[in-house]
Amino acid sequence: MSSILKLENLKVRFSTHRGQLEAVRGVDLDVQAGTSIGIVGESGSGKTVMSRAAMGLLTGSNVTREGRVTFDGKVLSDMSRDEVRNEFGTGMAMIFQDPMTALNPVRRIGSQLQESLRIRLGMSRKEAKVRSIELLTLVRIPEPKQMLRKFPSQLSGGMRQRIMIAIAISCNPKLLFADEPTTALDVTVQAQILELLTDLRQKLNMTMVLVTHDLGVVAGNTDYVAVMYAGEIVEQAPTAELFANMKMPYTEALFKSIPNIQMKAGSRLPVIEGRLPDPTDRPPGCGFAARCNYAQDKCFSDHPELEKAKDGHLYRCWFPLGESIQRKVS
Amino acid sequence: MTNHAHLRKDSDVLLRVEDLVVEFKVPGNKVVNAVSSVSFDVKEGETLAVVGESGCGKTTLGKALLQIQKPKSGTVRFSDNELTALSKKELREARTSIQMIFQDPISSLDPRMTVRQIVEEPLWIWSKGDENERLEKVKTLLNNVGLDPELVLDRKSYEFSGGQCQRISIARSLALEPNMLICDEPVSALDVSIQAQILNLLNDMKDRYGLTLIFISHDLSVVKAISTRIMVMYLGKVCEIGTTESIYSKPAHHYTAALISSVPVPDPTHKLERTPITGEPPSPVDPPSGCRFRTRCPAATELCATEEPMLREVSDGQFVACHYPRA
Amino acid sequence: MRKLWSTFNLPTKISVVWVALVFFFVLTGSFLPLPDPTEFDPDASGVGLFSSGHLLGTDINGYDLLSNVINGARISILIALISVGVGGLIGSAIGIGSAYVRGKVDLVVNLFFNILLSIPNLVLGLALVAILATSVDPSIPIDPNRRVIIIIFSLTVVIIPILGRIARGATLSWVNREFIVAARSMGMKDRHIIFKHIVPNVLPAIYAVIFLAIGVVIVAEGALSLLGVGIIDGVSWGAMIGRVAGDFTYAPQSMYVPVIVLALTVIAFNQIGDHLRSQLDSREGKI
């Protein structure tokens, strides 16, 4: 198993009129080829910024990126923008939450599909057309030949998402970033798309990074999960291990507060009180301390580092759950 | 042949809707059959969840109940008032007993008004009390929804987060102490951990004000947490209606079963025994004949294409519109 | 107000100062120690800028240019303010009302606006003035005051669809927001909804365009007067320009002075309006 994507101490800062906004604060991640990793977090956790920064998609004069991004042995963070762009399509690809903004509304589906094939893989028009039909069949679109002539506005959300997936995998990328790919879809369509992604991953031997806020989605579709909060990874483990032995109170609180279809009907949900800390003015210590049921004095003053437990389970907490330490429940 | 088998005759039925039809015209001279002859009732104190995916008509239904969207035909009987037959003036008055909360918390509030003005507005419209009394009432309402009046009264809505805006909306909707609250996807636009806060709040308000709730949502996990009764809609029709427990434990309609088993469960050991459902929902402009779900249903036969199934009882209080309901 | 000033960039600030200056002179002009605009001095015919007694020089007949420009400002600004004020009010009212009510009314109003807008401003103004200001007996000239009223009326008609369309568009973008639906569901009367909820939100879009409209009218009036159908007896800026057309080579400042003053004023109004509009766009983007 080799590492296909490695993030080392990745930091992303935005300069805003309210001061420096630290969106991502030193993230280390090592993604093994052929696996599927889920990045879970709510809005403001930094998960989207991190995935875009890893792909080199974050540009702008007010953005500062630090740290190393290594993809397939190449150090992306040292490469120029043009060189990084060469990796898109054949190396890395991304699918987004809103397929409508990823598809050009005034171009036919066929033309959008074929663009990548002809530019990146140098196919002729005929070859590209044949390959497009193959791709559409792969993403389970009925009547692929007719689909080539259609415009995005004629399609439903689920269809558009499939097209976006088809475009993303058209050049056989090694790594696929999926940024909330099913959040905007109906639940039955969501299930179909997730199953499709798993199927494609196995068929094409792709690695997948699935960014989402939905613990349900990661539970069924990933090998490994990283939980982000306030710009850092606060827990990381193989999926089964994470759900079985949550160590960071945030993960536990998140899990408990989500309405879960397996609960008894009409049960009252425990809530996470309070709000995310202001990203331009983060307090010292643990970012979750103010909202944590188990916080102690140390949590407010000292910032915890990422600790390693057995089985590749990492956590960032002074008083992790499941350990026999005296805890003050406030 | 009426589709009213599931309607109850008890005296504490607060809302009774019969054969409601709502249609829209769209460009190209086509007609969208958003709500096609839907009937249901809600008893005092219940929380009825209206569940379905996009295009099923649930949001249109909510608006049609309040007559904000005028139905083409059908009756909406709320507490002895036939809402479809009221004059404009009478309707304005009747609306004070039914209030609505919307999906987008930010656009539910006028960006130019302060929180105080927003929550006070219903009281102002109906001239309830003088200015001081209204202010006191506003403060009480804000406290009830978990906001500190001193901190929020004079601020504008865009200074608040989604969850807080939703609380302000709820405070506003309770100002006139309505009997019924229609919630149209009130937590869908909120962060996951905030959803729990708002759902708990709605339940608390229900107890405090003796409300009856209609909760419209596409999220089956959320609905399980808050509802006592569930109505499943597909393409403008009611598929199934029953108590929350029976619907989740023994869904009789194939669509309901597919919906439930498609919801991702945050438990990696859970085996996804997904009821196979293929394809996309057909267009509401040209729905399938007979049973509208038949094009995606694993149990469909020729009968389903020719004859539309009516709602009939399959177990105590559970009704399904299907020729071959699941055992 | 101070907060508003601080958000202005430099060109906008300069524009505000210029407009304030113009208004100042309009109001105080008659009290200032300047030569009488109607008095002509043949000895001082065609003197250049900064000559003694004539700060901006004189034209071929010896009329002092500075006083005439100030005098002209009165008429030009007056016409602009009234036309835009009345036209804006009427146009906005129609636009907001029609967008709120929708349906057939809106279709008709939209058609009406579009028809009027398809006629170039100047042509429309010209046509209206020509029809209304033509006396039956060509030897009897129209009373100048009546002329002014006719011009104001014509330009008001030009402005109505311009502002009407803006108001209608802005209203359409607000009328389906959920807080309007909420207001209805609370039992709020339509007229209250319009005045309490829609108008305050639509107003910023309107007053951004008001400034641009003032510029439009100043130019339109100037053009009409230049062509000889506006203010004939040479009192407005446009009339000043028209009057000296032939004497340009002899006393070029008699042309430059009114042209530059008119241009600067229009540019200033445009700049203010433009800036307000861009501020509005960025603010709307956040909501």
Q: What is the pLDDT of residues A261-306, one digit of tens each?
A: 777 766 677 777 777 777 777 788 888 888 888 888 888 888 888 8
Lowest mean pLDDT among A49-58, C8-17, C228-237: C228-237
Rounded distance, CA B62 to CA B64, Å? Answer: 5
The amino acid at residue C196 is K
Distance CA A45, CA A48 (A): 8
Chain centre distance of CA B86:
23
The pTM assigned to this predicted structure is 0.82
CA distance A200 to chain B (A): 18
Q: Residue B142: pLDDT above 60?
A: yes
- Give the residue, C20 or B274, on which the prediction is more confident: C20
SS3 content of chain C, % helix, strand, coil (to 5): 75, 0, 25
CATH superfamily of A3-91+171-315: P-loop containing nucleotide triphosphate hydrolases (3.40.50.300)
CB contact under 8 A, A42 and B200: no
**Tens digit of pLDDT for each residue in B288-315?**
888 899 888 888 888 888 988 998 888 8
CB B214 within 8 A of CB B62: yes
Q: Where are the domains of chain A?
A: 3-91+171-315, 104-170
Q: Is the pLDDT of residue B214 over 90?
A: yes
Q: What is the pLDDT at residue B54?
A: 81
* Mean predicted lDDT score pLDDT of chain C: 83
Q: Is B165 on the interface with C (CB under 8 A)?
A: no
Please give, rounded to a whole number of angstroms, the shortest distance from the CA of B95 to a CA of chain C. 6
- For residue B286, what are the CA distances in angstroms to A50, B30, B56, B72, B236? 44, 9, 13, 18, 12
Contact of B161 with chain A, judged by CB distance below 8 Å, is answered with yes
The model's pLDDT over B161-195, given as tens digits with 9 standing for 90+, comes to 888 999 999 999 999 999 999 999 998 888 877 88
**Both structure tokens of B199:** 């759902």
- What's the confidence (pLDDT) of residue C266? 92
The verdict on residue C106 lying in a domain is: yes
- CA dist B34 and B61 (Å) reads 8
Which of A58-62, A109-113, B40-44, B173-177 shows the lowest mean pLDDT across its residues? Answer: A58-62
Cβ-contact A212, A193 below 8 angstroms? no
Q: What is the pLDDT of residues B53-81, one digit of tens each?
A: 888 889 899 999 988 888 999 999 998 88
The answer to whether the beta carbons of residues A269 and B204 sit under 8 Å apart is no
pLDDT score at B226: 87
CB contact under 8 A, C182 and B158: no
| Contact across the interface for A159 and B280, Cβ inside 8 Å | yes
CB A250 within 8 A of CB A288: yes
| B149 within 8 A of B120, measured Cβ to Cβ | no
Write down how long chain C is.
287
pLDDT tier at A186 (50, 70, 90 boundaries)?
A: confident
Residue B277's SS3 state is coil
d(CA C100, CA C197) in angstroms, rounded, equals: 12
Q: Which two three-digit tokens encode residue C235?
A: 């009192």
B121 contacts C178? CB cut-off 8 A? no
* Residue B128 falls inside a structural domain: no
Chains A and B touch (3+ CB pairs under 8 A): yes
Give mean pLDDT, residues C125-138: 76
Does residue B244 form part of some domain?
A: yes
For residue B106, give every residue at least 6 positions away whose Cβ sits within 8 Å of its Cβ, in sequence order, or none.
B157, B158, B162, B165, C287
Number of domains in chain B: 1
**Top-confidence residue, A173 or C134:** A173
What is the per-residue pLDDT for B238? 93
Cα dist. B60→B77, B134, B293, C69 in Å? 17, 33, 19, 63
Q: Using an 8 Å CB-CB cutoff, list residues of chain C that contact chain B.
A: 177-179, 181-189, 192, 197, 200-201, 286-287
CATH code (residue C168):
1.10.3720.10
Rounded to an integer, the average pLDDT of C144-173 is: 89
Distance CA A30, CA A83 (A): 22
A261, A267, A292, best to mutate vs chain B, most B CBs in 10 Å = A261
Is the per-residue pLDDT at A159 higher than 70? Answer: yes
**What is the C-alpha separation between A122 and A133, in angstroms, rounded?**
17
Contact assessment for residue B102 and residue C185, using Cβ atoms and an 8 Å cutoff: no
Beta-carbon contacts of B123 under 8 Å, excluding residues fewer than 6 positions away, are B129, B134, B137, B138, B175, B176
Nearest to B68 among C181, C189, C192 (CB): C181
**Size of the A and B interface in Cβ pairs below 8 Å:** 131
pLDDT band at A325 (very low <50, low <70, confident <90, very high): very low
Q: Which chains touch B (3 or more CB pairs under 8 A)?
A: A, C
Helix ranges restricted to H, chain A: 47-55, 81-87, 99-102, 109-120, 125-138, 144-148, 157-169, 187-204, 215-221, 239-244, 249-257, 297-301
Yes or no: say if A284 and A297 are a contact pair by the CB < 8 Å rule.
Answer: no
Residue A317 DSSP class: -
Give the best residue of A195, A241, A269 to mutate against chain B (max B CB count within 10 A): A269
* Furthest C-alpha separation in chain B: 67
Q: How far is B323 from chain A (nearest CA, A)?
A: 22
Answer yes or no: is pLDDT of C247 > 90.
no
Least confident of A195-204, B261-270, B305-314, C213-222: B261-270
pLDDT digits (tens, 9 = 90+) for A79-111: 887 888 877 878 888 888 887 777 888 889 888
- For the stretch B84-99, what's the b/e string if a residue is b when 16 or more beta carbons lie within 10 angstroms of its beta carbon? bebeeeebbebbbebb
A166 and A113 Cβ atoms separated by less than 8 Å:
yes
Segment B27-55 shows an average pLDDT of 89
Give the pair of three-digit tokens for residue C251.
């006393």
**Residue C97 in domain:** yes
Does C106 or A326 have the greater pLDDT score? C106
Across A26-40, B263-277, C181-195, least confident range: B263-277
Both tokens assigned to C170: 């802005």
Q: What is the band of A328 on the pLDDT scale with cuts at 50, 70, 90?
A: very low
pLDDT score for C8 = 79
Among chain B residues, CA nearest to A225: B268
d(CA A163, CA A173): 16
- Considering only CB atoms, which chain C residues are within 8 Å of B99? 185-186
Q: Tell me the chain C residues in contact with residue B68 when contact means C-beta distances shorter than 8 Å.
A: 181, 184-185
Q: What is the mean pLDDT of chain A?
A: 84
Residue A327: per-residue pLDDT:
44
Distance CA(B278)–CA(B256), nearest Å, equals: 14
Nearest CB to A261; choose among B224, B227, B277: B224
Q: Which amino acid is at C243?
A: R
Nearest to C20 by CA among C268, C278, C274: C268
Find the residue in C nearest to B65 (Cα).
Answer: C185
Residue B213 pLDDT grade (very low, low, confident, very high; cuts 50, 70, 90) = very high
Bridge pairing between strands B180-184 and B98-101 = parallel
Q: Give the per-residue pLDDT at C135.
A: 62
Residue A323 pLDDT grade (very low, low, confident, very high; cuts 50, 70, 90): low
Quote the percentage of chain B above a pLDDT of 90. 43
* B122 in contact with chain C, both atoms CB, cutoff 8 A: yes
Under an 8 A CB cutoff, do B125 and C197 touch?
Answer: no
ipTM for this prediction? 0.83
Nearest CA in chain B to A269: B196
Average pLDDT of the segment spanning B199-214: 92
Location of structure tokens 């050049």: A171
pLDDT of residue B11: 82
* Short-list A175, A171, A169, A197, CA closest to A3: A175
Query: Letter for the amino acid at C281?
Result: D
Mean pLDDT of B202-208: 91
Sort B247 into a burial class: Cβ within 10 Å, 0-12 / 13-18 / 19+: buried
**B197 inside 8 A of chain A by CB:** yes
CATH number assigned to the domain comprising residue B251: 3.40.50.300
User: For residue range A206-231, what is the model confidence (pLDDT) as tens digits?
Assistant: 999 999 988 888 888 899 999 999 88
Query: Once rounded to an integer, what is the mean pLDDT over residues C35-39?
Result: 71
Asked if residue C42 is part of any domain, the answer here is no
Structural domain range at position C264: 66-286
Q: How far is CA B64 from CA A89, A248, B59, in A?
A: 48, 46, 9
| B residues 59-118 lying closer than 8 A (beta carbon) to C | 63, 66, 68, 92-93, 95-96, 98-100, 102-104, 106-112
CA distance B320 to C14: 73
> Taking the CB of residue A193, how many other CB atoms lie within 10 A of it?
21
Do the domain assignments include residue B229? yes
Q: Which two tokens stand for residue C198?
A: 């829609």
Name the CA dihedral angle for C12, C13, C19, C20, rounded to a multiple of 10 degrees.
160
- Give yes or no for residue C152 having a pLDDT over 80: yes
Q: Distance between the two ends of chain A, CA-based, in angstroms?
A: 44
Mean pLDDT lowest among A101-105, A171-175, B88-92, C50-54: C50-54
CA proximity to A250, closest of A267, A226, A216, A268:
A226
C178, C184, C286 member nearest B102 (Cβ): C178
Q: What is the pLDDT of residue B30?
A: 84
Interface test mutation site (partner C, options B99, B121, B173, max chain C beta carbons within 10 A): B121
Distance CA C283, CA C268 (A): 23
Residue-range definition of the domain harbouring residue B30: 13-79+179-320
With contact defined as beta carbons under 8 Å apart, do A31 and A4 qualify? yes
* Nearest alpha-carbon partner for A192 in A181, A203, A178, A177: A181
Q: Kindly state whether B126 is in contact with chain C, defined as any CB-CB distance less than 8 angstroms.
A: yes
Question: Is there a domain that residue C58 lies in?
Answer: no
B182 phi and psi angles, rounded to 5 deg: -100, 120
Q: Go through chain B and tell me how many residues it has.
A: 327
B81-125 pLDDT, tens per residue? 898 888 888 888 888 899 999 988 888 999 889 999 999 999 999
pLDDT at residue number A281: 75
